[in-house]
Structure 1
Amino acid sequence: MKPAIRRVIEELRGAQMLVVHPRDSECDALIHQLQRIGCAVRHAWPPPDTLPGDVDTIFHLVEASDTPGFATMPEDGPTLIAIVEYENPTVLKRLLDSNAHGVVQKPIRSFGILSTMVLARSLRGYAQRLNVKVRKLEDTLKARRDVDKAVKILVALKKISETDAYEMIRMQATQKRLSMGQIATTIIGAQELLGGLGVFGAPPPDAT
């Protein structure tokens, strides 16, 4: 067995699973299969209002609109695997709205559960890494906009060039061991506060 595959399977041993499904023979079959894999399994029905904080994978029944809905799923929440029996428009809409990472078709059989878990958990991890990159990019863009705005403030107040204003911000960031974005935010906040007190005129337009 390849090391990467072995590591994925080992991660499942002891993983905290929550099965949200009426307690019947199919539910029992799913729970027993998860236990055979080595997972720690809990059961809930109807769906809980809040999710246990230590659960990392949820198997959740998706039925028609008159059945209980999903618990609140945070963006960085656990892997969600939907259990579906019908594929009518209502169920498909609820499936899409759930943002599930994988699907198990009823009637539930032991075959395919492990593969579904591995793929779903991998997809969830990939999505989380993308979200982290997006947030970092958004933070970077915001910092650049703040620096541009702070530069314009310094140019207007100190009657210096944009190059000199940028260098002042850079030097302050180096001396105080802060990012240029943090220094820029401080300058913008001070300008807005003093401007509101009538010490300075109206702030310069936002940088684009």
Structure 2
Amino acid sequence: MATRLIRDLKGLRVQVLHPPDTDGMRLIEHLRRIGCTCEATWPLPDAIDPSASVVIAAIEQENRDKILDLFLPVESSDPALLAVVSFEDPSTLQIVLECGALGVIERPIRPFGLLTNLVIARSIWLDRQNANKRIRKLERRLTSNNQIAKAKAILMQTQSLTEDAAYDSIRKRAMAKRIPMDELASAIINAHELLTSRPSDE
């Protein structure tokens, strides 16, 4: 896993939000030596480059509002964020936490630790992406199961079927129409609601 993550850094698109000072130049130099493709942006932009896989941002108290506007709310699709800090004071760390940084790089910029931070941040980011995919899959499955359960109840009530027979009816009809069971279940629910709805009083 670690070997693959290190290999994947080659060509990784990194947006660097850092003043073009000595530390900024060193950061760009080290990233390019690792094999990353860098885009240096300063002053802070209004939006993150959508093609960036990683963003490395200088965290300064005077830019607090701009930084939080740029990175909040934290979305699952956002690139991995690494924060560059000069001081580990509570106010700076608060900004780091609020903007959802997955790692911290200290000034003065040194080669040691940069690769580790990149690999760890990417690993956490990929784990989050996988977790979000599993959650969305489970949510779709739950919605599907609820739709099928509701459709079964309708068939059991309207056609005097047992639960197993109602499920089997939905399954066979879905197979015959070559559509998912939850899609057929939704059609049954909609038809039932249409037939049983009362006209509104005029």
Q: From the superposition, tell whether residues 177 and 112 of structure 1 become closer, same or farther in structure 2 (CA, over 3 Å).
A: same
Conserved 8 A contact 2:54-2:79: yes
Q: How far did residue 50 of structure 1 move?
A: 2.1
Q: Structure 2: which amino acid aligns with 1:179?
A: P
Unaligned runs of 5+ in 2: none
Does residue 47 in structure 1 map to residue 48 in structure 2? no
Q: From the superposition, tell whether residues 27 and 195 of structure 1 become closer, same or farther in structure 2 (CA, over 3 Å).
A: farther
Local SS of the residue matching 1:69? helix
Of the candidates 6, 9, 26, which is equivalent to residue 9 of structure 1?
6
Q: Structure 2: which amino acid aligns with 1:69?
A: I
Q: From the superposition, tell whether residues 146 and 28 of structure 1 become closer, same or farther in structure 2 (CA, over 3 Å).
A: same
| Identical residues among aligned pairs (%) | 35
CA RMSD of aligned residues (A): 2.1
Instruction: State the match for 1:125 in structure 2.
Output: 126
Local SS of the residue matching 2:101? coil
Cα shift readout 1:49-76 (whole Å, capped 9, x = no counterpart): 2222221111012232753214245312
Decide which structure has greater helix share.
2
Q: From the superposition, tell whether residues 47 and 157 of structure 1 become closer, same or farther in structure 2 (CA, over 3 Å).
A: farther
Cα shift readout 1:23-66 (whole Å, capped 9, x = no counterpart): 21111110110011111111112332222222111101223275
Conserved 8 A contact 2:76-2:132: no
Cα shift readout 1:131-172 (whole Å, capped 9, x = no counterpart): 111111111111111111111122222232222211111112
* TM-score, with length taken from structure 2: 0.86
What is the correspondence of 1:1-208 to structure 2 with a 5 Å cutoff? 5-64=2-61, 66-67=63-64, 68-70=66-68, 71-72=70-71, 74-196=75-197, 198=199
* TM-score, with length taken from structure 1: 0.83
Unaligned runs of 5+ in 1: 199-208
Cα distance in 1 for residues equivalent to 2:61 and 2:119: 27
Cα distance in 1 for residues equivalent to 2:98 and 2:192: 44
Cα distance in 2 for residues equivalent to 1:124 and 1:19: 18
Conserved 8 A contact 2:67-2:99: no
Structure 1 moving runs of 4+ over 6 Å: none
Conserved 8 A contact 1:146-1:181: yes
Q: From the superposition, tell whether residues 116 and 190 of structure 1 become closer, same or farther in structure 2 (CA, over 3 Å).
A: same
Conserved 8 A contact 2:57-2:81: yes
